């Protein structure tokens, strides 16, 4: 799993965590990461100096796969 981007809301109450993983396992990984979001949030709260720790939502990022596909197509030209 590779974290590709994190977008935090202005009020710091939520964060969208974009990640990349093998396309075949993305649905399983999304489910597992979202189930573990409480653990990640708890770990973050120990490190961040914020009044409230943002809730985390994990979203599969298709950008790396799309880029690889484009590179593959261009190499075949």
- Concatenated DSSP letters of the chain: -EEEEEEE-TTSSEEEEEEE--GGGHHHHHHHHHHTHHHHHHHHHHH---SSPPEEEEEE--HHHHHHHHHHHHHT-
pTM: 0.76
Higher pLDDT, 24 or 71: 24
pLDDT in tens, 21-49: 887 888 899 999 999 999 999 999 999 88
- Residue ranges of domains in the chain, CATH in brackets: 2-75 (3.30.300.20)
Residue 47 token pair: 């490190």
């Amino acid at each position: 799993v590779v974290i590709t981007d994190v977008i935090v809301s202005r009020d710091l109450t939520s964060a969208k965590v974009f990640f990349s993983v093998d396309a075949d396992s993305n649905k399983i990984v999304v489910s597992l990461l979202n189930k573990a979001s409480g653990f990640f949030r708890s770990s973050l709260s120990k490190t961040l100096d914020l009044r409230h720790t943002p809730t985390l939502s994990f979203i599969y990022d298709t950008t790396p796969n799309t880029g690889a596909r484009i590179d593959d197509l261009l190499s075949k030209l």
